[in-house]
Amino acid sequence: MNINRKIGAVIFVICTLFAITFFSCKKGVLNVTDPNVFSADNYPATIDDLNMELNDVYGRFRAGYYDADWYRFFALSRDHSADQAYKAIDFDAATQINFTKTDQAVAVLWEKHYENIAKCLNALNDIDRFKVKNPSMNAADKERVDLIEGQVRFARAWNYMILVNSYGETMITTEADKAKMGVPIIKKLAGIISETQIPRSSIGEVWTYIIDDLKASEAILKTKTWSGNDIARASGWTVKAMLGKAYIFSQQWALASAKLKEVIDGSGKSLIPFDQFKDMFGGKNEFSNESLFELNVIKDESQGWSVSDNVGTRLNIYLAPAVINEDGSTGKNGFGNYFVHDKNLFRFGFTGTAVTPAEQKLPAYLAQSRIWRDSKTVDPRLWVYSFQPYLDSLRWDNVTRPAAKMPGDGVNLETNIAWCFQKYVLRDAFVWSNNISIGHNMYILRLAEVYLLYAEALTKTGQNVNALEYINKVHRRAYGQANVDIPGIYDYASLTAATEAPDAALRNDPLKYEKWAELFAEGTWWFDVCRWKLGQNEADFYQKVATGNLTWNDNKYTLPIPLREMNTNALMKQNSGY
Amino acid sequence: MINRLSKTTVFLMRSTFIFALCTCFFNALLVASPGYAQKLKEIKISIQFSGQTLDECVKQIGIKTNIQFAFNPEELKIFNSSNLKFKKTSVQDVLERLLKNTSLLFAELGSKVVIYSTTNQSDLTQVKFLLNPSDDPLLPISGTILNEKGEPVQSVTVTVKGTSRSVVSNESGVFSIEADENDVLVFSSIGYSLREIAVGKNKMLSVQLTATINALDDIVVIGYGSQKRKDITGSISSLKGETLKNLPVRSVAEALQGRVAGVFVSGDNGAPGAAPSIIIRGPVNTRGTGPLYVIDGIPFTDAGNSFNMQDVENIEIIKDASAAAIYGAAAAGGVIIVTTKKGKAGKLLVSINSSVGSRKALNLPRLLSKDQFITARIANGDDANSFFGPESGRAALPNTNWFDFLYRNSLEQNHTASIAGGNDKSTYYMSVGYNDQQGVRIDNFVKRYTIRINSDHKINSRLKVGQNFYLSSENSNPTNLSNQGALSFRSSPIMKVLDPLNAAGGGWGRTPGYFQGGNDYANELVNYRRNNNYTANLAVYGELEIIKGLKLRQNMALKYAAFDNYSYNYRYDWGQSRRDFARFGKGYSKGLEFLGNTTLNYAKKIGKHDLSLLAGYEALRGKGDFIDGYADFSNANLNRDFNFVSQLTTANNRLSGSGSDVSRRNSMFGRATYSYADKYLFSANVRRDGVATAFGPNNKYGVFPSVSFGWKVINENFLKGSNIFSDLKLRASYGTLGNSDVDGFLFLNSYNAGYPAVLGANGPILTSFNIRTRMVNKDIQWEEVATTNFGVDMAFLKNALTVSIDAYSRQTKKMVYYLPIAGSAGQGADLPFNIGQMSNKGIEFLVNYNGSIKKDFSYSVGFNGAYNTNKLISLDPKLGGQFFDGGLNEFYGGGATASKTEPGKPLGQFYGWVANGIYQTDVEGGKGPKVGNYTPRAGDLIYKDLNGDGKMTDDDRTYIGNPWPKLTYGINLSIQYKTIDISMLLTGVMGVDIYNAQESFNHNFFGDYNTTADIFKTSFFNGTGLTNVPRGFYPQNVPVVGGGDRNGNWSRVSSYHVQSGSFLKMRNMQVGYNFSNKLTKVVGISSARFFMMADNLFVITKYKGYDPEIAGGVRSRGIDNSNGRYPSTRLLAVGLNINF
């Protein structure tokens, strides 16, 4: 025998055996799991795991309405807090309220909130599974699990509120409105396609569902409050206040006034003094005694522009304030083109009309403005929420920079006053040197709104005097009165007293005016416009935006159902006019 | 004792003995030949001739030098020497001089020098040995192999028929083999017809081989084996590596462009390393799954760019199901089998292929200069002051042509050096390659270094082992495009590129006030990136012939891929954008895949029955991981070491990404081929695949069978002696293939990281986990793709003209369709289901003609073409959302989709409004349908209001164009005239539409973008009045809501922008000059060729955009967003091919 061949054959057999053993492990070659995820078979296993799901639910407050991308369209452009010096089809659609069913913004808002709801639903399912698996938890564990459930239910209710207010056929103004089309209620995570075909529930049903969730949450959280590293969680008072708001939106006035009163009396919250108030939108005085629920963000650019991976907001980029640079040129702290719609200045009572930078920086003009501000002949909140060119300033790189008029950027702003926003913007650092995102919390619910909601409930239940008092409390703080609970010189004398506003709807309606002025650019006014059917009034008052004239039709009270949803859900029905 | 051994053993022993002898002999020959040749050169003699017959002359030399000569005296007697006188001249030179102007050649053979005639072969039987013809009893049969031109043919395999004894001819065409009188010798070589010669009493043979023209005897590599081209029953196209020699192609896909009927390759940009799209016989599914690549037995889903095409020996493209079924669930998009070069026994071949050239960007647009820009912006109604400042200062504004800075003519180099050789036991091929492609855009290149080592070894007559090792290292500097894309339409002519006054900001030009874009030049340079990609593909095999005809083969392969990416972002300030910190980033990955397969192959011929069987098992497992991290720091000069990242406490630093990937596959397969009387062919394949990550628990394994038939009509009696046909074969096949390239683990419910949360005022950032945003489909499985193929292969004029025609029908069933899910389910955008059906039907043809005019002018013409119709047939009608749309950039309004894919139509049809001319008057416009709230005016496009509701809405959209060509074709031309050779490749498409979205950028301002002078041709712009180009300008006083372009002339999808995209491109042209042997021998080179090459020389088209070759996916194809496209390029290069 040839020795070579023998060796060769032996090597060959060994190799073959090795190969076969190597590739056919006993478990079976095909038995692998995805290395990047947890298998649903053994997750969640602990209460900590459930808390991980709750973290997601909280993180998702950044997705949807309060995501800066959509906030600028739905909360700023739509109610004309903002005007814009930029031409683009989707931007124009927002400022002119010409949303279409194919708009990305319209689709994302819908999809994100439903995604949030699905996560809430899954967390609630997991809580149930966990309870079944662990029937004999000790009291402390049981409480931990319950608290998770309470918070998830609150979050789910809030997501539905955004949805029904945005896409519901109408706001509830009459009993008949409750039967109109709301949004689909998702009671089960779809496992198969047929389960994704959910029709729109009526508006009444949606509000009942929201209120049930909030009540269940309230039953768990009761008067629970949080502190330290939990301070941003929804407290029992957050839930009660939101429940009160839900009663307002569903026109259950008695329940609303009772619930809101409970918050006012029991929460220990109070309106913080004007000195603190004026800084509370720039990253300071967060979680103050006035706050009931905030979109909690911290400066974080670690994941670029991703809203899902970052815990900051980049709203400041879009609301970039203009400044006069050291060399005299005009610069911006960001790249947005949003500025305060000129008419808002007049609504706050400002009567100056200087449009060119040269006029705006005239000493006499500035002196007049200062007088108006100091004498409070103009609503002081104007200078809290916006920068007056040359009167206000920003400071970074150790240089104080006068605020400037928003530059035109190709859109003709020669006849615009064009002040820049102050609310939520970055004013003490240069955005590009600092990281794109900032950590300025946004207010989702604060006591001033609760007072005004309460006042509204009171007017509906015939308690006008008391209602006026709560409107005045908000007003007094805005005008710097130290103790807001005693009458003062700035008080409205009646529910029809004159306000700063020149327009028909707000001129003699302190409740509406305060709702607008106090919560300016905070994302609530548009829903009031819809509830109070002020669309025509607003279009008449604002008249135009920099890119065109405003027109009104009642279709604008609601958004179209996104085309993607119409195409994928056979049971979906479109809102009229779309 | 011998009697007690089995017959087989006796045979084995005997053959081993003979083999050993042969080996010894040939080793001696291999060693001796060069040595002897050396001797011929070394031994110097002084000798004089004066007209003797040559046999006398040679005898004299033999006596003087003791060199043994062998020749047929009759042949030498014909010639007389001239008067020659040599002084201390080498025998080599003496012989050369002596035999000059005769038909005689000489060659060393063993210890002898043989002199033989190249013309008078019949008389070679009369060869007598000059000195002791019988002094070597073991002297084997020897001979010389020549081609039709009388040139020696090397590397011919000479086999004693019925045995495994074989040798290979050397560079002089000489062979020597042990054989007896009754044996038949088989001569085979690629490119030549097989020839059999009975040995008889001749010890010295002269064999003439005829070059094959249609290469019917070529060996075609099929899955896990090979077949002769003439026995192929499926649809397999072959491409020789020789065709790709010197081409500046970096990927297999690119190499195939225009060369193979039915393989549609389109590249849509000229970036170094850009991967073209490849679609074989139309899109196989809505995802456009590509072909499977098998390189030396290792499967790849994408062969990528890190492959040295100069190493390629052969490429086979399997288009139908019959042969591809052996690759089962990975093969539905077609299979491309690449075989790399191997060494051949014989002389050591050293070759160097080098080329150097320059690339130029084609059709760069001319954006408006400063003066044009100011004029146009003002005419556009933009606020001049906010754009340009006061009028007095405008003269001092810069006037920048950004392309002068961003684009350049770039250098490209391609070098490969290889050695190949071996002896009868071992052969090897080794190569090193260097490819350097500089981008035409600044700060952009790809460099690649490659090494290949292939070898094959016979351990003994029964056992072979071999290996293929391939290593590549790619070093690239990718572009850093801003969001304005490669063509930088968002750039400002009134902005400086560099500005010394901005020294603190890096010296970059600062953005003017109106401008929200960036500094594209700076953007490339401040974002420093180096990507390194490493791949190693290692394969070893062993093959044992257990008994005659039964072979066991074991392959083991390892694929390793890794990247190591580095980035450094400098601090900068160019006005609109500024970064006050530097960022250092680093990313690593590694992927490792093991593949093993065992095959058992049995071949047996009994009479007219020829049978072969194959059974195999294959397993694959792989795992990959990647990790990215970065650190920000304000001090730009800090240490840039990765370890440093973890030590930085003051900077923003973190692990920014990581992930893992697993793959597992487990397969069994088999094949049977049978032929009867070399007329009727049959073949069947089957494969059973399990893919761990792709197939759900309910469908763990898929089975993919195929059958095929062939009829070699040419071998039928009625065609014997046909004057028309030199070949005729009919083929038919049917089979089912699979696709398994769906996302992993779609069948598993899982939890992954959700939105991080912060619940304290200032942190910490909390991780979150929640259920994955994705529905689960437990029934997910492979797609089933059934292909029926009919083909005919014909050859005429003694194989000079060959024609192949294939017709096919490919039906995709259970097509994975990403069903859009209602957003209200909150479960993500879509879920894959096996619910779709798609059809591709087509015809392909291939015509080749080889001709010659006189002896020294030969040429060949090849034309291949393919016609395919694609149709999405159906999706589950119970489910909503039965269409896809997509594909346009963000500047388009109205949902910005130009493509729609709907059952009953081909994929990705253009979908939009029908434009039908331009309104000539405002009155006319007033009668037309409104666009939103806008009443059209003169100069606006006339849109058709299809539903007659008086306004233009999404419901008025319809199908307005087809991005799939009716015909794709390629033309190959080659001409050889004496020492000059010319080759050309032209590719083209016909009957195709392009959606020219680019012209909107050329005719209109979008935001703060620049545009081209075309804007001055639009109606009512800057006082033009009505022209034949729609308006983009609307006076400010038009009493409507909205910004510019109110009729959507440039921003809505309409048929106005659909244009014919037919083109014919001169893809590549080479002109070569072959230096004469005399010249090259002087410098010790056996052959040398100089060539000039032009790649992408010209294009003939009516298309109005920059380049009609546009790829894109299969659902949003043919949309020209040139603004974002890296421009296409032309390469002019020169090169050298040298063989030693």
HEC sequence for A463-493: CHHHHHHHHHHHHHHHCCCCCCCCCCCCCCC
d(CA B729, CA B829): 51
List the single residue in A1, A103, A568 with the smallest CB-CB distance to B820. A568
Residue B842 C-alpha from the chain's centroid? 23
Count of Cβ atoms closer than 10 Å to residue A327 Cβ: 6
Residues A430, A563 within the same domain: no
Q: Is residue A362 part of a domain?
A: yes
Q: C-alpha dihedral over B914, B916, B919, B925, to 10 degrees?
A: -40
Q: Please report the pLDDT score of residue B207 as a whole number.
A: 83
Q: Do B823 and A31 touch (CB under 8 A)?
A: no
CA distances from A281 to A381, A385, A514, B799, B860 (A): 12, 8, 18, 86, 79
Q: How close does chain A come to B916, measured CA to CA in Å?
A: 24
Residues of chain B numbered 409-448 and touching chain A (CB < 8 Å): none
Nearest Cα residue in chain B from A329 = B513
Residue B714 C-alpha from the chain's centroid? 34
B664 in A contact zone (CB under 8 Å): yes
Token reading at B283: 């899109």
Q: Do A30 and B691 touch (CB under 8 A)?
A: yes
Q: Do A414 and B383 touch (CB under 8 A)?
A: yes
Give the up-direction half-sphere exposure of residue B283: CA atoms within 13 A in the CB hemisphere.
26
d(CA A209, CA B1020): 58
Residues A552, A427 within the same domain: no
Diameter of chain A measured on Cα atoms:
119
List the single residue in A4, A407, A433 with the smallest CB-CB distance to B459. A4
The answer to whether the CB of B264 falls within 8 A of the CB of B280 is yes
Q: Do A562 and B756 touch (CB under 8 A)?
A: no
Residues A174, A52 within the same domain: yes
Q: Do B1043 and A89 touch (CB under 8 A)?
A: yes
Q: Which of A440, A473, A497 is the last residue of a domain?
A: A440
DSSP B299-324: EES---S-S-GGGEEEEEEE-SHHHH
Residues A51, A194 within the same domain: yes
The answer to whether the CB of A203 falls within 8 A of the CB of A180 is yes
Tell me the H-state helices in B621-778.
642-647
Q: How close does chain A come to B778, measured CA to CA in Å?
A: 10
Q: Enumerate the residues of chain A whose CB falls inside 8 A of the CB of residue B10.
A: none
Q: Which of A23, A437, A547 to mutate to test the interface with B (most CBs of B within 10 A)?
A: A23
Token reading at B1023: 């006082």
Q: Do A548 and B758 touch (CB under 8 A)?
A: no
DSSP state of B543: E
Q: Is residue A55 part of a domain?
A: yes
Strand, helix or coil for residue B832: strand
Tell me the H-state helices in B982-1076.
998-1003
B877 in A contact zone (CB under 8 Å): no
DSSP A223-242: T----GGGTTS--HHHHHHH
Residues A48, A194 within the same domain: yes
DSSP state of B491: -
Nearest Cα residue in chain A from B631 = A302
Among the listed residues B173, B171, B196, the one whose alpha carbon sits nearest the alpha carbon of residue B185? B196
Strand, helix or coil for residue B1042: coil
Tell me the H-state helices in A33-86.
47-59, 68-71
Q: Enumerate the residues of chain B whose CB falls inside 8 A of the CB of residue A192.
A: 775
List the single residue in A38, A230, A433 with the smallest CB-CB distance to B751. A38
B619 in A contact zone (CB under 8 Å): yes
Diameter of chain B measured on Cα atoms:
115
Q: Is residue A328 part of a domain?
A: yes
Ramachandran angles phi, psi of B115, nearest 5°: -115, 130
Q: Which helix (H) or strand (E) holds A455?
A: helix A447-460
Q: Which of A371, A406, A440 is the last residue of a domain?
A: A440
Among the listed residues B1085, B951, B325, B149, the one whose alpha carbon sits nearest the alpha carbon of residue B686? B325
d(CA B458, CA A4): 10
Ramachandran angles phi, psi of B809, nearest 5°: -135, 120
B660 in A contact zone (CB under 8 Å): yes
Q: Do B822 and A565 touch (CB under 8 A)?
A: yes
Q: Enumerate the residues of chain B whose CB falls inside 8 A of the CB of residue A7.
A: 459
Residue ranges of chain B with per-residue pLDDT less than 70: 1-39, 109-112, 118-140, 149, 164, 190, 212-217, 634-653, 877-882, 887-896, 1036-1044
Print burial letters for B534-545: b (CB count within 10 Å at least 16), e (below 16). bbbbbbebbbbb
Q: Is residue A235 part of a domain?
A: no
Q: Which helix (H) or strand (E) holds B297?
A: none
Residue A171, amino acid: M
Q: Which of A36, A335, A405 to mutate to test the interface with B (most CBs of B within 10 A)?
A: A36
Q: Do B578 and A300 touch (CB under 8 A)?
A: no
d(CA A281, CA A474): 17
Name every residue whose Cβ is closer than 8 Å to that of residue A147 and which is 6 or more positions away in sequence.
A220, A221, A224
Residues A557, A430 within the same domain: no
The answer to whether the CB of B939 falls within 8 A of the CB of B918 is yes
Nearest Cα residue in chain B from A436 = B579
Q: C-alpha dihedral over A469, A470, A476, A482, to 10 degrees?
A: 100
d(CA A570, CA B291): 37
Q: Which of A11, A12, A227 to mutate to test the interface with B (most CBs of B within 10 A)?
A: A12
Q: Enumerate the residues of chain A whose CB falls inside 8 A of the CB of residue B749.
A: 39-40
Q: Please report the pLDDT score of residue A3 as a whole number.
A: 55
Q: Please report the pLDDT score of residue B401 as a whole number.
A: 95
Residue B907, amino acid: L
Q: Enumerate the residues of chain B whose CB falls inside 8 A of the CB of residue A96.
A: 1041-1042
Q: Enumerate the residues of chain A whose CB falls inside 8 A of the CB of residue B382.
A: 410, 412
**Backbone torsion region of residue A280, taken as left when φ is above 0, otherwise alpha when ψ lies between -120 and 50, otherwise beta:** alpha
Q: Please report the pLDDT score of residue B1036 as a whole number.
A: 62
The answer to whether the CB of B699 falls within 8 A of the CB of B776 is no
Q: Is residue A299 part of a domain?
A: no
Ramachandran angles phi, psi of B1118, nearest 5°: 70, 20
Q: Which of A14, A20, A89 to mutate to test the interface with B (most CBs of B within 10 A)?
A: A89
Strand, helix or coil for residue B686: strand
B621 in A contact zone (CB under 8 Å): yes
How many contacts does A have with B, using Cβ atoms within 8 A?
358
Q: Do A8 and B759 touch (CB under 8 A)?
A: no
Q: Decide: pTM greater than 0.90.
A: no
Q: Do A287 and B761 touch (CB under 8 A)?
A: yes
d(CA A313, CA A297): 7
Q: Is residue A188 part of a domain?
A: yes
Q: Do A329 and B513 touch (CB under 8 A)?
A: yes
Q: Is residue A129 part of a domain?
A: yes
Helices (H) and strands (E) in chain B, counts: 15, 61
Q: Please report the pLDDT score of residue B1089 as a whole number.
A: 92
Residues A436, A556 within the same domain: no
Q: Do A411 and B577 touch (CB under 8 A)?
A: no
Q: Do B383 and A410 touch (CB under 8 A)?
A: yes
Q: Do A32 and B662 touch (CB under 8 A)?
A: yes
The answer to whether the CB of A501 falls within 8 A of the CB of A507 is yes
List the single residue in B16, B652, B770 with the smallest CB-CB distance to A122. B770
B751 in A contact zone (CB under 8 Å): yes
Print burial letters for A269-284: b (CB count within 10 Å at least 16), e (below 16). bebbbbeebbebbbbe
Q: Do B756 and A430 touch (CB under 8 A)?
A: no
DSSP state of B508: B
Residue B787 C-alpha from the chain's centroid? 24
Count of Cβ atoms closer than 10 Å to residue B138 Cβ: 7
Helices (H) and strands (E) in chain A, counts: 23, 13
Q: Which helix (H) or strand (E) holds B444?
A: none
Q: Enumerate the residues of chain A whose CB falls inside 8 A of the CB of residue B691.
A: 30
Q: Enumerate the residues of chain A whose CB falls inside 8 A of the CB of residue B692.
A: 29-32
Q: Please report the pLDDT score of residue A14 as a whole number.
A: 63
* Cα A323–Cα A326–Cα A332 angle in degrees, nearest 5: 25
Nearest Cα residue in chain A from B819 = A568
* Cα B789–Cα B794–Cα B799 angle in degrees, nearest 5: 145
The tens-digit pLDDT sequence of chain A (578 residues) is 455 556 666 666 666 665 665 555 444 667 788 888 888 888 899 999 999 999 999 999 999 999 999 999 999 999 999 999 877 778 888 999 999 888 889 999 999 999 999 999 999 999 999 999 999 999 999 999 999 999 999 999 999 999 999 999 999 999 999 999 999 999 999 988 889 999 999 999 999 999 999 999 999 999 999 999 999 999 999 999 999 999 999 999 999 999 999 999 999 999 999 999 999 999 899 999 999 999 999 987 666 666 777 888 888 888 999 999 887 888 888 888 899 999 999 999 999 999 999 999 999 999 999 999 999 999 999 999 999 999 999 998 889 999 999 987 667 788 899 999 999 999 888 887 656 678 899 999 999 999 999 999 999 999 999 999 999 999 999 999 999 999 999 999 999 999 999 999 999 999 999 999 999 999 999 999 999 999 999 999 999 998 888 999 999 999 999 988 998 898 999 999 98
Q: Which helix (H) or strand (E) holds A215?
A: helix A203-221
Nearest Cα residue in chain B from A23 = B619
Residues A55, A191 within the same domain: yes
B894 in A contact zone (CB under 8 Å): yes
**Structural domain span for residue A333:** 315-440
Token reading at A433: 């040197």
Residue A82 C-alpha from the chain's centroid? 16
Number of residues written out for chain A: 578
Q: Please report the pLDDT score of residue B75 as a whole number.
A: 75
Q: Do B761 and A231 touch (CB under 8 A)?
A: yes
List the single residue in A20, A53, A308 with the smallest CB-CB distance to B769. A53
Q: How close does chain A come to B509, measured CA to CA in Å?
A: 15
B744 in A contact zone (CB under 8 Å): yes
Token reading at B615: 């059974």
Among the listed residues B618, B535, B6, the one whose alpha carbon sits nearest the alpha carbon of residue B326? B618
Q: Is residue A447 part of a domain?
A: no
Token reading at B402: 């950004």
d(CA A155, CA A168): 19
Residue B925, amino acid: G
The answer to whether the CB of B32 falls within 8 A of the CB of B110 is yes
Token reading at A63: 């997705």
DSSP B674-693: EEETTTEEEEEEEEEEEETT
d(CA A368, CA A370): 5
CA distances from A316 to A295, A396, A424, B402 (A): 15, 15, 7, 31
Q: Do A409 and B1008 touch (CB under 8 A)?
A: yes
Residue that has been written with the tokens 């009609």 in this structure: B1108
The answer to whether the CB of B51 falls within 8 A of the CB of B43 is no
Ramachandran angles phi, psi of B939, nearest 5°: 95, -10
CATH number at residue A150: 1.25.40.390
List the single residue in A232, A435, A565 with the smallest CB-CB distance to B823. A565
Q: Do A111 and B823 touch (CB under 8 A)?
A: yes
Checking DSSP bridges between strand B292-295 and strand B335-340, what pairing results, if any? parallel
Q: Which of A440, A456, A491 is the last residue of a domain?
A: A440
Task: Tell me how many domains chain A contains.
Answer: 2
**Backbone torsion region of residue B215, taken as left when φ is above 0, otherwise alpha when ψ lies between -120 and 50, otherwise beta:** left
B690 in A contact zone (CB under 8 Å): yes
The answer to whether the CB of A467 falls within 8 A of the CB of A455 is yes
